[in-house]
Chain A
């Protein structure tokens, strides 16, 4: 077995030093009834690298890669070009194979990039402080509600119908077992008036998404004022972080906590994970933040260095009183995010956002010119909703049969609401081309 360095000779010598006759003796504390006598049936033995690679190529061959087909799916996961430098950097063994930086003297690399990451997140979101990443946007959103409950000592979250349906379900699941209630709006364009009217003395927070799940771009300044007047917090979720290159940041709209899915920057689609959650808030709530935080300090020579800090909030110190149970976060995905955003810089990030919006405008114009297709959005960033003359799910299947990955039928994520059956979500990033849009339009005309 190529990963195991010990030879039989080594093993004999080591057993002799230990004073054991066999390795079985080292397992003497395992009760006899619990010891497996025979090999576990039904599992194959070890394979060479060639065989393993072949097996995975066989898995891959049964999928349709977005790179090989016209592709227009978004809904919380976006296909962007990731510069080669990003993947090279995260594969450096010093980053890839290191652990959580508990020993700061020999993990300054990880600590410094996380400090840079935290700073970048505050700049993008327009907030004051950020943590060193969450698992992803959806779990980050649930953590944000828990944090709002701690801050306000209230237990009711008001959730916009414009929030990604799976994010909403993650919050609802968390609430069911962690003792808060979630009041959920209809899965449609939220009337901000309805949300404002729904705020009461029990409300800990209002959760909105920008652009919304359906793509609409909204100003939440008035909602923020209403939240603050009632002592509630405004949580803004951003599932497409590239939008922050073009759209007014949530911090400027009065958000108290901002949660983003950071996948779009540096991280591939990966069939849904691992992704990286960005989490930012105001300085006064710093000690209520979940997860890891990196802080600046000095060493014994007075030189600048970085450490994990404020760990007295964390599970390994406070145990049952911790702000969250999070231990592992998404460090390497945060590195991918930071490297990609550093490559882009101010000019590149803005241009990337402009490109996305321009492509989406073009796609919206072309698709809505197809007879029977009606554009729902007046505003959008790189994703929008169209209403089809009939159910969207079979249309998407028919497109897939032509090897076109033509958007997401909303009914897949909202199966229980007939009012969304005809809605189709379409996204266009900088990766969309004329060669992809033209076949989509042609195929739509054929299948509708």
Chain B
């Protein structure tokens, strides 16, 4: 099962298939850029990276269901494992390496004190079902974070358990469905309004709960078209799902009118809190009439993104929706903390349970450490610096790129591909060329309402010198693209990344989702020569 890789045969032809006459190496490696096989190609049966004691001999009690045959896991020593994953790590871009201008994703500094406190004995190693008398500090910690979230948003209640932003959306929309059910309006109110620029999770969430999604167009200023919204409101509408600041990087200036119109129609206002980091300390969503909003702790409060997770998506709830919060929640009884778990007798009508146990405690710890480090003053300053940085980038690039909208932006600057017209360079090509300059590309082709969108979010974490270098690199790329002579270079970018442009169509047409002994590396791959 485990394939051996005979390194003595070398991996000649590191640049095989590339008719450039470039220098090749025996190993296929390029100095520190090392070709790394899969663990299944590295392992040898009999090797092991842990030392475990000999189990006591017992007569097993497995009901005759002992596993037979090989599982097929490779065997590697501890140093091999360290080397393998270290090499893989070096093929990743990360916020620790530099500007990571992903709009809407909010890649900000991840302080290491957060990692340290999350691992303290007595925090990181608690079992979720220990007797409550033995986890009083953990419950107090969760309640402390809940207090900050409620206070910063101006909302009376928070559901802590959702595991990610999209899970929080599910929670909030379930609370709305539960409230409608209690009022006897669930069958009638089937429509959820979602602006065209909504995150894809919004329509997916609403549809999953049986609502019909109706898009609301944007006006020429990149905001929700109030007239169209008012025309769409009626007795069939359950809620609006609105992001504010919105995905065009703009504050919905008519938010108060929107909120009033929604409530007058008997509908609820769900706010997608993905961009809350732009307004912390300056605006409370509760003051805008929001009924519920999820908070992506990883965006606003800097729990690390970790290559795609884990996240945490607590949901703040208005007084109208608080009775429908899901189990569990934390309550203080006299001088001790308790948990209202399933079946607890309560005044409200909990919508159910969304996840086993109490929520993403590890993320709560990191978020609270981040919040305490900033304090109320620092959080407000961070929001202001994020907005300042985005406007600085916008102002510094507006003469060579095309801002999608007039006026100041919030924490992200949105451009369209107007400046690339007739150059033969697409938004995708431009993004891939940024890689060669040492930057992770910005968010592209989102929001959908803008053609060839480029959404740049510098965050508050970057020094002005780094922003200036980034701006200079972007200007250089824009000027080269517009010169009309570099289209082929852009099309072939990235030139200097661990891999050149990857064939995503092939991956989707002939899906290979796992390693098998038979799927050898393809032609042109240095690992293939080595294996042969």
- Partner pick for A119 among B40, B64, B81, B121, CB 8 A cutoff: B40
Q: How many A-B residue pairs have CB under 8 A?
A: 732
Against A, the Cβ 8 Å flags (1 = close, 0 = not) of B121-133 are 1111111111101
Q: Does B283 contact A (CB under 8 A)?
A: yes
A29-B165 contact in complex given A52-B373, A79-B127, A97-B94, C-beta closer than 8 Å: no
Q: Collect the chain A residues with CB atoms within 8 Å of residue B127's CB.
A: 66, 71, 73, 77, 79, 269, 271, 405
Q: Does B435 contact A (CB under 8 A)?
A: yes
Are A303 and B524 in contact, with the CB atoms below 8 A? Answer: yes
Are B355 and A129 in contact, with the CB atoms below 8 A? Answer: no
Are A23 and B384 in contact, with the CB atoms below 8 A? Answer: yes
Are A273 and B525 in contact, with the CB atoms below 8 A? Answer: no
Are A95 and B388 in contact, with the CB atoms below 8 A? Answer: no
Residue ID in chain B nearest A121 by CB atoms: B514
Q: Collect the chain B residues with CB atoms within 8 Å of residue A297's CB.
A: 502-504, 506-507, 512
Q: Collect the chain A residues with CB atoms within 8 Å of residue B502's CB.
A: 104-105, 297-300, 305-307
Q: How far is the CA of A421 from the CA of B15 in the complex (A)?
A: 68
- Partner pick for B385 among A4, A314, A335, CB 8 A cutoff: A4
Q: How far is the CA of A362 from the CA of B63 in the complex (A)?
A: 17
Q: Min CB distance, A163 to chain B, in Å?
A: 11
Q: Does B484 contact A (CB under 8 A)?
A: no
- Partner pick for B52 among A17, A56, A430, CB 8 A cutoff: A430
Q: How far is the CA of A331 from the CA of B250 in the complex (A)?
A: 30
Q: How far is the CA of A328 from the CA of B281 in the complex (A)?
A: 26
Are B121 and A65 in contact, with the CB atoms below 8 A? Answer: yes
Q: Min CB distance, B450 to chain A, in Å?
A: 16
Q: Does B292 contact A (CB under 8 A)?
A: no
Residue ID in chain A nearest B377 by CB atoms: A45
Q: Collect the chain A residues with CB atoms within 8 Å of residue B204's CB.
A: 315, 318-320, 322, 324-325
Are B310 and A106 in contact, with the CB atoms below 8 A? Answer: no
Are A53 and B521 in contact, with the CB atoms below 8 A? Answer: no
Against B, the Cβ 8 Å flags (1 = close, 0 = not) of A87-125 are 111111111111111011111111011111011101110
Q: How far is the CA of A311 from the CA of B505 in the complex (A)?
A: 11
Q: How far is the CA of A65 from the CA of B245 in the complex (A)?
A: 42
Are A92 and B89 in contact, with the CB atoms below 8 A? Answer: yes
Q: Min CB distance, B423 to chain A, in Å?
A: 21
A272-B361 contact in complex given A119-B515, A339-B81, C-beta closer than 8 Å: yes
Q: Collect the chain B residues with CB atoms within 8 Å of residue A18's CB.
A: 388, 391-392, 394-395, 408
Q: Does B275 contact A (CB under 8 A)?
A: no
Q: How far is the CA of A309 from the CA of B492 in the complex (A)?
A: 21
- Partner pick for B342 among A132, A169, A341, CB 8 A cutoff: A169
Are A412 and B341 in contact, with the CB atoms below 8 A? Answer: yes
A405-B134 contact in complex given A5-B461, A34-B288, C-beta closer than 8 Å: yes
Are A97 and B304 in contact, with the CB atoms below 8 A? Answer: yes
Interface set, chain A 166-217, CB cutoff 8 A to B? 166-167, 169-170, 172-173, 176-179, 216-217
Are B525 and A303 in contact, with the CB atoms below 8 A? Answer: yes
Are A1 and B382 in contact, with the CB atoms below 8 A? Answer: yes
Q: Collect the chain A residues with CB atoms within 8 Å of residue B57's CB.
A: 358
Against A, the Cβ 8 Å flags (1 = close, 0 = not) of B500-526 are 111110111001111100010111111
Q: Does B432 contact A (CB under 8 A)?
A: yes
Are B307 and A332 in contact, with the CB atoms below 8 A? Answer: yes
Are A105 and B499 in contact, with the CB atoms below 8 A? Answer: yes
Q: Does B387 contact A (CB under 8 A)?
A: yes
Against A, the Cβ 8 Å flags (1 = close, 0 = not) of B370-396 are 001111111011101101110110111
Are A76 and B356 in contact, with the CB atoms below 8 A? Answer: yes
Q: How far is the CA of A302 from the CA of B500 in the complex (A)?
A: 9
Are A139 and B71 in contact, with the CB atoms below 8 A? Answer: no
Are A10 and B508 in contact, with the CB atoms below 8 A? Answer: no
A344-B48 contact in complex given A101-B307, A304-B525, A309-B504, C-beta closer than 8 Å: yes
Q: How far is the CA of A443 from the CA of B70 in the complex (A)?
A: 42
Q: Does A75 contact B (CB under 8 A)?
A: yes
Are B357 and A77 in contact, with the CB atoms below 8 A? Answer: yes
Are A164 and B48 in contact, with the CB atoms below 8 A? Answer: no
Stretch in contact with the other chain, from B109-117, B225-233, B263-271, B474-482: B109-117
Q: How far is the CA of A47 from the CA of B71 in the complex (A)?
A: 51
Q: How far is the CA of A150 from the CA of B189 in the complex (A)?
A: 25
Q: Does B441 contact A (CB under 8 A)?
A: yes
Q: Min CB distance, B118 to chain A, in Å?
A: 8
Are B109 and A60 in contact, with the CB atoms below 8 A? Answer: no
Q: Collect the chain A residues with CB atoms within 8 Å of residue B304's CB.
A: 96-97, 332
Q: How far is the CA of A33 from the CA of B255 in the complex (A)?
A: 11
Q: Does B311 contact A (CB under 8 A)?
A: yes
- Partner pick for A342 among B84, B91, B124, CB 8 A cutoff: B84
Residue ID in chain A nearest B432 by CB atoms: A105
Are A167 and B174 in contact, with the CB atoms below 8 A? Answer: no
Q: How far is the CA of A164 from the CA of B504 in the complex (A)?
A: 39
Q: Min CB distance, B117 to chain A, in Å?
A: 4
Are B376 and A44 in contact, with the CB atoms below 8 A? Answer: yes
Q: Collect the chain A residues with CB atoms within 8 Å of residue B365's CB.
A: 56
Q: Does A345 contact B (CB under 8 A)?
A: yes
B71, B94, B307, most chain A CB atoms within 10 A:
B307
Interface set, chain A 360-375, CB cutoff 8 A to B? 361-362, 364
Against A, the Cβ 8 Å flags (1 = close, 0 = not) of B20-55 are 000000000000000010111001011111101101
Interface set, chain B 190-225, CB cutoff 8 A to A? 199-201, 203-210, 213
Q: Collect the chain B residues with CB atoms within 8 Å of residue A385's CB.
A: none
Against A, the Cβ 8 Å flags (1 = close, 0 = not) of B96-120 are 1100101001010111010111011
Q: Does A329 contact B (CB under 8 A)?
A: yes
Are B307 and A309 in contact, with the CB atoms below 8 A? Answer: no
Q: Collect the chain B residues with CB atoms within 8 Å of residue A347's CB.
A: 45-48, 75
- Partner pick for A40 among B84, B151, B396, CB 8 A cutoff: B151
Q: List 22 A-B contacts (CB under 8 A).
A: A3-B373, A5-B462, A18-B391, A30-B282, A31-B253, A39-B281, A53-B117, A79-B127, A95-B92, A98-B307, A99-B107, A106-B435, A136-B163, A173-B351, A178-B208, A269-B126, A296-B507, A302-B524, A304-B527, A327-B200, A342-B81, A415-B341
Given contacts A42-B151, A109-B88, A324-B204, 19 further A-B contacts (CB under 8 A): A2-B373, A14-B388, A17-B395, A36-B281, A53-B116, A60-B123, A63-B138, A75-B129, A98-B93, A103-B440, A165-B342, A292-B308, A299-B500, A301-B15, A316-B199, A320-B213, A342-B39, A358-B56, A377-B61
What are the 3 tightest A-B residue pairs by CB atom distance, in nearest-first order? A302-B524, A173-B352, A272-B357
